[in-house]
């Protein structure tokens, strides 16, 4: 199996997701595989900005997967102190997703996690933010923006993805 297609799913500060199926669904859009790694746990300081979190995670030994997605329960904030759902660093091949707000409504949690995980995987594969609000790759700051997305890439992003994958 091509290692480049594997995404390790790991936890932060003792948390691990109960929504593995949502991550699998998100990965399947891109033909990626989720390798669950509940035992791998990283501790990060509470209140760290995402830069600090990514820095901590980049110091971790790489695992037998090409990409690493860490799930954290707490809210995470960008450098301006604004709450964000997640961040992906394509160069480090590391992403972090905060489930705090996404799981706040049990009925919607699966779909919300799927959409935001798919968003991060899109960044891994080279996609930027999309101006079509229904697209997975549109930037969401609030839950209502997550809910306004379709669980798929818009046609434009699909074409871009094809170009990136052919490179």
Rounded to whole angstroms, how far apart are CA atoms 16 and 37?
A: 9
Interface with Zn ion (CB under 5 A), residue total: 6
CB of 161 to Zn ion, least distance (A): 9
Closest by alpha carbon to 157, among 114, 110, 112, 119?
119
Binding positions for Zn ion, 102-141, rule CB under 5 A: 130, 132, 135, 137
Residue 57 to residues 2, 14, 105, 111, 126, Cα–Cα distance (Å): 24, 15, 29, 26, 20
Q: With beta carbons less than 8 A apart as the criterion, state whether 33 and 27 touch.
A: yes
Q: With beta carbons less than 8 A apart as the criterion, state whether 50 and 78 touch.
A: yes
CB of 125 to Zn ion, least distance (A): 12
| Comparison of 104 and 159: residue with beta carbon closer to Zn ion | 159
CB of 89 to Zn ion, least distance (A): 11
| Comparison of 25 and 161: residue with beta carbon closer to Zn ion | 161
Binding positions for Zn ion, 65-94, rule CB under 5 A: none
**Interface with Zn ion by CB under 5 A: which residues?**
130, 132, 135, 137, 154, 157
């Amino acid at each position: 199996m091509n290692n480049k297609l594997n995404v390790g799913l790991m936890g932060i500060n003792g948390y691990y997701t109960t929504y593995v199926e949502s991550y699998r669904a998100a990965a399947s859009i891109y033909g990626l595989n989720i390798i669950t790694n509940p035992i791998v746990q990283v501790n990060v300081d509470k209140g760290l900005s995402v830069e600090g979190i990514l820095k901590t995670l980049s110091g971790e030994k790489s695992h037998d997967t090409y990409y690493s997605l860490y799930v954290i329960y707490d809210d995470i904030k960008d450098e301006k102190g604004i709450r964000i759902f997640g961040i992906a660093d394509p160069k480090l091949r590391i992403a972090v997703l905060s489930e705090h707000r996404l799981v706040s409504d049990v009925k919607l949690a699966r779909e919300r996690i799927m959409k935001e995980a798919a968003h991060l995987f899109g960044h891994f594969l080279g996609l930027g933010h999309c101006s079509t609000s229904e697209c997975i790759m549109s930037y969401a700051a609030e839950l209502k923006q997550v809910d306004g997305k379709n669980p798929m890439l818009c046609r434009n992003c699909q074409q871009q993805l094809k170009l990136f994958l052919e490179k």
